């Protein structure tokens, strides 16, 4: 297929535009390109000034003729199978339509870069021109590095918010939405939100945090927010709920891990009338009280789940809800209904004991060697009585009452919900939350965003949005692979490679033709829920 290539003459300084047509060299067994000059670039406007067309002259025998049709002999050849899959996925889930509404002038560029990020696993954008020359994609031509930076900077907050609204309306608000955050390290010192914080990848670098909302039934992401790197998880809920109100998502069901638990957050969820399922610490006073009541009841056969190999028990409880009302100058206090789901797993009990003993040994060694870790000071005080003699010898004694209390919690974990009564249903929903963690792995590793090389806030925001678009496609494909049992025979890259080699052939004035396809390839399109490519009539 044709692409526009620019080249500057070093002697004259004039930049010329060439039409580059890719073709397959059967002898060298590689893609080649033929170039034809179509004009020069105006240095002031950047527009292409076409060259004067020469009158074609054709030979017929020994006679020259200036009349007759111009024969079209060259045919462009492109890889099409995987990008066709993306085209139809985008149509099916309304992604292409929503992008076209929010980014009418640039949505095809956004799609092309997203396609590239998916197919060129972990490769930088600098390789996009090479990929573009041999693939059929929505934009159809090369996007130089400078143009991609301009594209990222052109993606505005307003347009992005409109996109979130449109995508959110396509998701069932009856399903649970998994919410989590991750840290993304950065070398940049010019980005305002890059801060040192709790780095979840254990990188010794400053970071930004990324919050993501994921539909557990659709298995598709539809909202994200960039946060400063020093913002803890627990402080993000208030802003999340405000965003949900702005985006018009009224019937929200959230599932979150215990890092988001606080009394204030539970009160906020109740105040906004949101349904939730949240893990919490077993060391909290009200949790320990309910666990102690359940200890004799939980380990009976009727509470055993063979599916999860654990015991599950639920108890209704009253939440002491409170709300400050500045407009009335008082604090509203009342009880709200909630369910506590308590679980006991014998294998987890063994692991909990082993982990605590390893931690205690590490802390004790640090204390006795006088190489204290500043990050462990609270743990030293929690688990040990520490004394120093006049001759600077350190005496360390474990607090047995604290260790005994920890032993009472071995093997237990707890979920809270204001909507789900059944403990096994709650567990199923909560465990499906790991799809968010897998999505973060895709963003950082496969889509090469673990340490974004950008120098401005606008470029970072725009590139993150395009990465998010690519993540939607990846999430859809993974769900279909999971549903169809395809991970037994294919990796994600293997499936894409199998489809990517399907070719299409285009010739000016003629309909596009699609190359031969195998039975395996046709079966993959069916498993993806889309039709295979066909030659146009």
Residue 247, H or E segment: helix 237-247
Please tell me the predicted confidence (pLDDT) of residue 167: 87
> Cα dihedral angle (54, 55, 59, 65), rounded to 10 degrees?
-160
Please tell me the predicted confidence (pLDDT) of residue 195: 45
Check if the beta carbon of residue 90 is closer than 8 Å to that of residue 111. Answer: yes
Please tell me the predicted confidence (pLDDT) of residue 220: 86
Give the DSSP letter of residue 348: H
Residue 522, H or E segment: helix 519-527
Please tell me the predicted confidence (pLDDT) of residue 222: 81
Residue 455, C-beta contacts closer than 8 angstroms, at least 6 positions apart: 188, 190
Burial per residue of 347-378, b for 16 or more beta-carbon CB atoms within 10 angstroms, e otherwise: ebeeebeeebeeebeebbebbeeeeeeeebee
pTM, entire model: 0.73
Please tell me the predicted confidence (pLDDT) of residue 319: 94
Give the pair of three-digit tokens for residue 397. Answer: 């004694």
Please tell me the predicted confidence (pLDDT) of residue 49: 72
CB atoms < 10 A from the CB of 114, how many? 27
- Paired with 293 in beta bridges are none
- Paired with 8 in beta bridges are 15
Check if the beta carbon of residue 38 is closer than 8 Å to that of residue 19. Answer: yes
Rounded distance, CA 278 to CA 286, Å? 15
Rounded distance, CA 37 to CA 363, Å? 71
Helix axes 95-102, 107-119, angle to 10 degrees: 140
Burial per residue of 509-520, b for 16 or more beta-carbon CB atoms within 10 angstroms, e otherwise: eeebebeebeee
Cα–chain center distance at 228:
18
HEC letters along 140-153:
CCCCCHHHHHHHHH
Domain definitions of the chain by residue range: 348-407
Rounded distance, CA 97 to CA 155, Å? 17
Rounded distance, CA 88 to CA 462, Å? 24
254 — phi, psi (to 5°)?
-105, 140
Residue 374, C-beta contacts closer than 8 angstroms, at least 6 positions apart: none
Rounded distance, CA 409 to CA 356, Å? 11
Please tell me the predicted confidence (pLDDT) of residue 247: 81
Rounded distance, CA 303 to CA 311, Å? 5
Kindly tell me the burial class for residue 457, based on how many C-beta atoms sit within 10 Å of its own C-beta (0-12, 13-18, 19 or more).
Answer: middle
- Paired with 7 in beta bridges are 16
- What is the chain's mean pLDDT, rounded? 83
Give the pair of three-digit tokens for residue 237. Answer: 């809920």
CB atoms < 10 A from the CB of 420, how many? 24
HEC letters along 402-449:
HHHHHHCCCCEEEEEECCCCCHHHHHHHHHCCHHHHHHHHHHHHHCCC
How do strand 253-256 and strand 275-280 relate by DSSP bridges? parallel
Please tell me the predicted confidence (pLDDT) of residue 98: 95
pLDDT tens for each residue of 113-158: 999 999 987 777 888 998 999 999 999 999 988 888 889 989 998 9
- Paired with 276 in beta bridges are 254
How do strand 253-256 and strand 176-185 relate by DSSP bridges? parallel
Kindly tell me the burial class for residue 450, based on how many C-beta atoms sit within 10 Å of its own C-beta (0-12, 13-18, 19 or more).
Answer: middle
Q: Which of 523, 474, 399 is nearest to 220 (CA)?
A: 474
Residue 31, H or E segment: strand 30-41
pLDDT along the chain (537 residues), means of 10: 65 70 65 71 68 47 47 71 96 95 95 93 82 93 86 91 87 79 59 48 60 83 74 78 81 88 92 92 93 92 94 95 86 93 96 95 91 91 86 83 93 96 94 73 62 62 89 91 92 93 87 92 96 85
How long a stretch of residues is the chain?
Answer: 537
Please tell me the predicted confidence (pLDDT) of residue 185: 56
Please tell me the predicted confidence (pLDDT) of residue 528: 96
Check if the beta carbon of residue 481 is closer than 8 Å to that of residue 492. Answer: yes
């Amino acid at each position: 297929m044709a692409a526009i290539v620019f080249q500057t003459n070093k002697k004259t300084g004039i930049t010329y535009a060439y039409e580059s047509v890719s073709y397959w060299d059967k002898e060298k067994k590689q893609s080649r390109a033929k170039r034809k000059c179509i004009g020069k670039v105006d240095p002031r406007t950047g527009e292409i000034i076409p060259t004067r067309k020469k009158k074609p002259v054709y030979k017929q025998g020994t006679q020259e003729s200036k009349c007759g049709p111009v024969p079209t002999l060259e045919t462009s050849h492109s890889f099409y199978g995987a990008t066709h899959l993306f085209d139809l996925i985008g149509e099916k889930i309304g992604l292409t339509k929503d992008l076209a509404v929010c980014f009418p002038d640039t949505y095809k560029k956004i799609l092309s870069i997203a396609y590239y990020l998916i197919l060129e696993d972990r490769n930088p954008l600098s390789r996009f021109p090479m990929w573009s020359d041999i693939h059929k994609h929505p934009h159809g031509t090369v996007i130089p590095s400078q143009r991609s930076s301009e594209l990222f900077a052109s993606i505005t907050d307003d347009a992005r918010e409109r996109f979130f609204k449109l995508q959110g309306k396509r998701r069932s608000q009856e399903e649970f939405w998994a919410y989590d955050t991750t840290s993304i390290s950065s070398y940049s010192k010019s980005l305002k939100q890059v801060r040192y914080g709790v780095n979840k990848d254990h990188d010794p670098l400053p970071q930004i945090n990324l919050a993501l909302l994921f539909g557990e039934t659709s298995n598709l992401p539809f909202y994200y927010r960039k946060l400063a790197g020093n913002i803890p998880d627990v402080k993000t809920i208030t802003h999340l709920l405000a965003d949900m109100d702005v985006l018009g998502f009224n019937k929200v069901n959230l599932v979150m891990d215990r890092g988001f638990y606080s009394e204030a957050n539970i009160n906020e969820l109740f105040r906004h009338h949101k349904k939730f399922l949240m893990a919490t610490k077993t060391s909290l006073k009200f949790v320990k009280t309910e666990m102690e009541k359940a200890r004799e009841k939980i380990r009976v056969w009727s509470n055993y789940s063979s599916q999860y190999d654990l015991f599950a028990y639920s108890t209704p409880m009253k939440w002491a809800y409170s709300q400050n009302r500045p407009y009335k100058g008082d604090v509203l206090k009342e009880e709200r209904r909630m369910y506590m789901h308590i679980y006991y797993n014998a294998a987890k009990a063994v692991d909990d004991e082993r982990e605590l003993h390893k931690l205690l040994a590490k802390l004790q060694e640090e204390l006795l060697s006088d190489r204290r870790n500043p990050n462990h000071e609270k743990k030293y005080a929690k688990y040990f009585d520490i004394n120093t003699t006049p001759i600077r010898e350190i005496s360390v004694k474990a607090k047995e009452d604290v260790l005994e209390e920890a032993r009472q919690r071995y093997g237990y974990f707890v979920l809270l919900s204001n909507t789900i009564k059944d403990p096994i249903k709650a567990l199923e929903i909560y465990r499906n939350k790991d799809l968010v963690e897998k999505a973060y792995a895709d963003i950082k590793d496969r889509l090469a965003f673990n340490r974004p090389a950008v120098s401005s806030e606008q470029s970072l925001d725009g590139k993150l949005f395009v990465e998010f678009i690519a993540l939607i496609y990846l999430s859809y494909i993974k769900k279909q692979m999971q549903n169809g049992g395809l991970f037994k025979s294919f990796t994600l890259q293997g499936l894409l490679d199998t489809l990517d080699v399907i070719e299409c052939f285009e010739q000016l004035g003629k309909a596009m033709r699609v190359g031969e396809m195998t039975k395996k390839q046709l079966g993959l399109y069916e498993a993806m829920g889309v039709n295979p490519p066909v030659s146009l009539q």
